[in-house]
């Protein structure tokens, strides 16, 4: 069997929520042994669900963002949150209480046998826990420590707490994404920067690992999530740098192509995107519509004219799309060479013909026994086939025996003592609601 790209690399993950967890999920997809270092004594908001022990009613009320299988919290809700399962496939879970000196000692033993540590907490926490890079480097000089906070490890905003939507607001996306005629107060912010931070963490880790293979040297990798995200708004920055121009949100429109919009289809809440970049696509678009009279307007023959008459065109297009099936429109447009596609929801993404044809989804069975379809890794390499889920997201503490006994060499007696002292366990302590 061929070795996966990161097989043999051990990664410790002490990330609270999404961003860092996606980063280590990619590393795990690529074959790394990722161990989530968790605690039975301290509940991390959101990581394993809304609360440790939510009521049935709370679970029913919760958004599918915090989904539980069949909306049932079950006997062990902390193992059942969809948010946790989304970001923790292929990882192992161990527990230790880092807020006690004995826990820090255990953690240091783990650092000794690890290659990479990834964390995405606000910076003061590492100092408070006594596990800053200089301390850990003493334990393992070749360690790669990846620290990814909102604003980085220096500068006046260093210690400010952050979450994706605040970071996107800070980075400029908050004012650039929106409907031209709706106040930002009425729109829920975007969290795309979380994914970008995760991807950046995985990329930075690969680079640091490559450097270590070449030189034997570890290092402290630093990511300010805002800086990792800002290059994705480069087009806007360059226009300001060159022309002092500030852009307002365009909704779904395009700065130079028209028509460009998201139009309703015959089904409930079904939408289709259409973009016409140039004259050739405009001619194809007219053919797809059956060359209606309104499209013969000579002004519409040029991009300038089309740009000017977007509102009028959108009304006509909408009349045409709203009585048609989304996929019929897509095929009609694509046949004429016009960029067009469905707007896929979290439900109908699982029915998308292209993804089904390429077997993008795979069935995963959780440790608790329920099965679900999971969107696979998009990193398709001929040498490995699909990078499949090797094991599902772990139950809390599921791999304590492996980590403590096999990796760290604790005896049965010591293991029992650490259980009594609240380091080792399979469920959040009773005081956690």
Partner 1 sequence: MEPALSDTKVLDLTHHIAGPYATKLLADFGADVIKIEKPGEGDSARRLGPFPDDIPHPERSGLFLHLNTNKRSIALNLKSDTGQRIFQELVKGADIVVESFRPGVMASFGLDYPALERIKPELVMASISNFGQTGPYRDFKVSDLVLEGVGGKQFGGGVAEREPLKSAQFMPQLVAGLYASIGILAAFFARQWQGMGGQYLDLSLMELLVSFGDGRLTHQVGYQFTKTEETREPMEGRIVSSPPTGALPCADGYVEWFGMGRWRQVSQMLGRPDLLTDPRYATEEARLENHEEIAGMLLSWMMQRTKKQCWEEAVPADVICAPCNTVEELLGDPHINSRGFWTEVEHPVLGKTTIPGRPFILPESPWQLRRPPPLLGQHTAEVLGELGYTREDLVKMSETGVI
Q: Which of residues 131-160 bind partner 1 (CB under 8 A)?
A: 148, 151-152, 154-157, 159-160
Strands 10-13 and 33-38: parallel
Restricted to residues 73-102, the positions that interact with partner 1 (CB under 8 A) are 80, 82-83, 85-87
Can you tell me which of 42, 353, 416, 421 binds partner 1, judged by CB under 8 A? 353
Q: Does 48 participate in binding partner 1 (rule CB under 8 A)?
A: no
Total residues at the site for partner 1 (CB under 8 A)?
A: 168
104 vs 343, which CB is nearer to partner 1? 343
Can you tell me which of 271, 282, 285, 410 binds partner 1, judged by CB under 8 A? 271
Can you tell me which of 109, 219, 310, 432 binds partner 1, judged by CB under 8 A? 219
- How many Å apart are CA 330 and CA 271, to the nearest integer? 11
Contact 174, 233 (CB under 8 A): no
CB of 413 to partner 1, least distance (A): 39
Q: Which residues contact 262 (CB under 8 A, 6 or more apart)?
A: 252, 271, 272, 273, 343
Restricted to residues 296-335, the positions that interact with partner 1 (CB under 8 A) are 334
Q: Does 267 participate in binding partner 1 (rule CB under 8 A)?
A: no
Q: Does 367 participate in binding partner 1 (rule CB under 8 A)?
A: no
18 vs 282, which CB is nearer to partner 1? 18
Can you tell me which of 75, 134, 346, 369 binds partner 1, judged by CB under 8 A? 346
264 vs 305, which CB is nearer to partner 1? 264
Q: Does 208 participate in binding partner 1 (rule CB under 8 A)?
A: yes
234 vs 409, which CB is nearer to partner 1? 234
92 vs 162, which CB is nearer to partner 1? 162
CB of 160 to partner 1, least distance (A): 6
Can you tell me which of 338, 396, 407, 418 binds partner 1, judged by CB under 8 A? 338
96 vs 389, which CB is nearer to partner 1? 389
Could you tell me which stretch among 18-26, 112-120, 293-301, 420-428 binds partner 1 (CB under 8 A)? 18-26
Residues in a beta bridge with 273: 262, 341
Q: Does 345 participate in binding partner 1 (rule CB under 8 A)?
A: yes
234 vs 292, which CB is nearer to partner 1? 234
- How many Å apart are CA 178 and CA 189, to the nearest integer? 9
Q: Counting beta carbons within 10 angstroms of the beta carbon of residue 40, is it exposed (0 to 12), middle (13 to 18) or buried (19 or more)?
A: buried
Can you tell me which of 102, 104, 139, 175 binds partner 1, judged by CB under 8 A? 175
In 3D, which of 251, 252, 269, 259 has the Cα closest to residue 322? 269
Could you tell me which stretch among 99-107, 294-302, 344-352, 405-413 binds partner 1 (CB under 8 A)? 344-352
Could you tell me which stretch among 105-113, 296-304, 336-344, 409-417 binds partner 1 (CB under 8 A)? 336-344
Restricted to residues 383-412, the positions that interact with partner 1 (CB under 8 A) are 383-384
Can you tell me which of 102, 104, 129, 176 binds partner 1, judged by CB under 8 A? 176
Q: Which residues contact 149 (CB under 8 A, 6 or more apart)?
A: 120, 121, 122, 123, 158, 162, 223, 224, 225
CB of 48 to partner 1, least distance (A): 13
Contact 320, 289 (CB under 8 A): yes
Can you tell me which of 328, 373, 390, 416 binds partner 1, judged by CB under 8 A? 373
Cα 179 to Cα 182, 185, 188, 249, distances in angstroms: 5, 11, 12, 6
A 10 A CB-CB count for 3 gives 10
């Amino acid at each position: 069997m061929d070795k996966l790209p990161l097989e043999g690399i051990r990664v410790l993950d002490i990330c609270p929520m999404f961003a860092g967890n996606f980063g280590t999920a990619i590393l795990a997809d690529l074959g790394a042994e990722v161990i989530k270092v968790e605690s039975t004594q301290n509940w991390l908001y959101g990581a394993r669900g809304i609360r440790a022990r939510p009521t049935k009613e709370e679970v029913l009320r919760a958004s599918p963002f915090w989904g539980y299988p069949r909306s049932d919290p079950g006997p062990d809700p902390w193992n059942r949150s969809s948010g946790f399962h989304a970001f923790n496939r292929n990882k192992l879970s161990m527990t230790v209480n880092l807020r006690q000196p004995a826990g820090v000692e255990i953690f240091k033993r783990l650092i000794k046998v690890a290659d990479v540590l990834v964390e995405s907490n606000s910076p003061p926490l590492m100092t408070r826990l006594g596990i800053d890079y200089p301390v850990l480097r003493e334990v393992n000089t070749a360690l790669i420590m990846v620290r990814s906070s909102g604003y980085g490890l220096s500068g006046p905003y260093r210690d400010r707490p952050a979450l994706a939507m605040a970071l996107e607001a800070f980075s400029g996306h908050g004012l650039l994404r929106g409907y031209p005629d709706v106040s930002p107060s009425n729109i829920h912010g975007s969290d795309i920067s979380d994914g970008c931070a995760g991807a950046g963490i995985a990329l930075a880790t690969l680079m640091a690992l490559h450097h270590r293979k070449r030189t034997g040297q570890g290092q402290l990798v630093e990511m300010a999530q805002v800086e990792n995200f800002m290059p994705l708004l480069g087009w806007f920055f360059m226009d300001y740098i060159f022309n002092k121009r500030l852009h307002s949100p365009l909704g779904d429109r395009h700065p130079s192509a028209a028509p460009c919009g998201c139009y309703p289809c015959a089904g409930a809440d079904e939408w289709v995107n259409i973009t016409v970049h140039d004259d050739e696509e405009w001619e194809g678009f007219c053919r797809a519509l059956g060359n209606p009279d309104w499209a013969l307007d000579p002004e519409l023959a040029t991009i300038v004219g089309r740009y000017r008459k977007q509102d009028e065109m959108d009304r006509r297009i909408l009349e045409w799309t709203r009585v048609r099936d989304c996929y019929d429109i897509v095929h009609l447009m694509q046949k004429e060479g016009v960029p067009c596609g469905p707007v896929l929801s979290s439900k109908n993404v699982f029915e998308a013909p292209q993804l089904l044809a390429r077997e993008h989804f795979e069935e995963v069975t959780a440790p608790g026994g329920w099965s679900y379809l999971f969107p696979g890794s998009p990193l398709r390499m001929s040498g490995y086939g699909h990078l499949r889920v090797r094991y599902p997201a772990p139950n809390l503490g599921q791999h304590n025996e492996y980590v403590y006994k096999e990796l760290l060499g604790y005896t049965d007696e010591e293991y029992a003592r650490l259980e009594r002292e609240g380091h080792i366990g399979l469920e959040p302590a009773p005081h956690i609601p």
